[in-house]
Amino acid sequence: MYPILFQFGSFHIYAYGFFIVAGLITAVVLAGLKIRKSNIGISFENVVDLFFYTVLSALIGSRILFVLINFDVYRQHPMKIFKIWEGGLVFYGGLVLAVIVAFWYMKWHRLPIWKVADLISPLIALGLFFGRIGCFLAGCCYGKETSLPWGVVFKNPDSLARLNVPLHPTQLYDAANGLAIFFFLNWMERRKTFDGQIFWLFLFLYSITRFFIEIFRGDPRGFLFGDFLSTSQGIGILLAILSIFVLFYMKKQSRR
C-alpha cells in the first residue's frame, strides 16, 4: 500500500510509525478525559508518566520478541533490529513487558492498580486499531493468499507484504477487532462488578479473537509444535486460560 506516507527530500514519514504515534496521542487525550469523569485517585501527570513507560516498554518488548522469532534474519543484519519504523513488532511481547512495567510503576506510586488497569485497557484496544492500520499501509502482518472478493493486492515495492497476489487483509481484521473490543469494554465499564474485570476481560477477548485471526496470517512469525500453532496462538491460549481463572477468582472474592 503506502509504507511511506510523506517524503520531503531524503526525509520520510513512515505509515507504521505515524499511526503508532497517532494512537498514543489519542489514548493519552482520552485517558485525560476519562480521569476527569472518574474518581480513582490518580492525576493526569501520573497517567502521562504511566503511558510513557508502558509504551516504551511495549515497543521494546514487542521488538525483542519479533527479533527472537526471526533471529536468523537479524543475526545476518543486526542493524535492522533498530529499524522499527519499517514494521516488525509482536503485540504479545510488548503486552507482557508493558504489564510488568505498568504494575511496578503503579505499586511504586501507590496507585489503585486494578482501577487504573480497567481505565486504560479499552485504550490499549484502541491503540491496536491504530497500530494495525499502520501495519496495513506498511504491508507487515499480511495474510494468506485468497480468492475472496475483499482480498488485497500489494503492489508497492517498498511494501513488506507479498506482491501482486490477493491476500487476506489480516491487518484490517485485527484493526476492526481492536475497535470492536474498545467499544465493548467502554460499554462494560459502566456495568462491571469488581475492579480488574475490564483488564482481564480485555486479555480474554483479544486472546480468543487473535487466535482465529492468526489462522489467516501468511507472514513468517514463528511456530510452536512444528506448524501446529503460531507463537501468538500459543501465548494467546495461555493468556485466555489465565484470564478465565482470574475473572472467576476475582468475582468470587468480590462477592465475599
Mean pLDDT of 20-29: 86
| DSSP 8-state assignment for residue 3 | S
- Which among 227, 232, 226, 202 has a CA at the least distance from the CA of 214? 232
> pLDDT per residue over 210-253, tens digit each?
999 999 999 877 777 667 888 889 989 999 999 999 999 999 98
As a whole number of angstroms, the distance between CA 125 and CA 135 comes to 15
**The most confident of 16-25, 33-42, 81-90, 195-204, by mean pLDDT:** 195-204
> pLDDT per residue over 192-212, tens digit each?
999 999 999 999 999 999 999
Mean pLDDT of 130-153: 92
> pLDDT per residue over 51-97, tens digit each?
788 888 988 888 888 787 777 777 777 777 776 655 567 778 888 88
pLDDT of residue 83: 66
Q: What angle do CA 123, 29, 112 make, to 5 degrees?
A: 60
Residue 123 burial (C-beta neighbours within 10 Å; 0-12, 13-18, 19+) = buried
Q: Say which amino acid occupies 69.
A: I
Q: DSSP states of 211-243 as a string? A: HHHHTTB-S---EETTTTEEHHHHHHHHHHHHH
pTM of the entire predicted model: 0.86
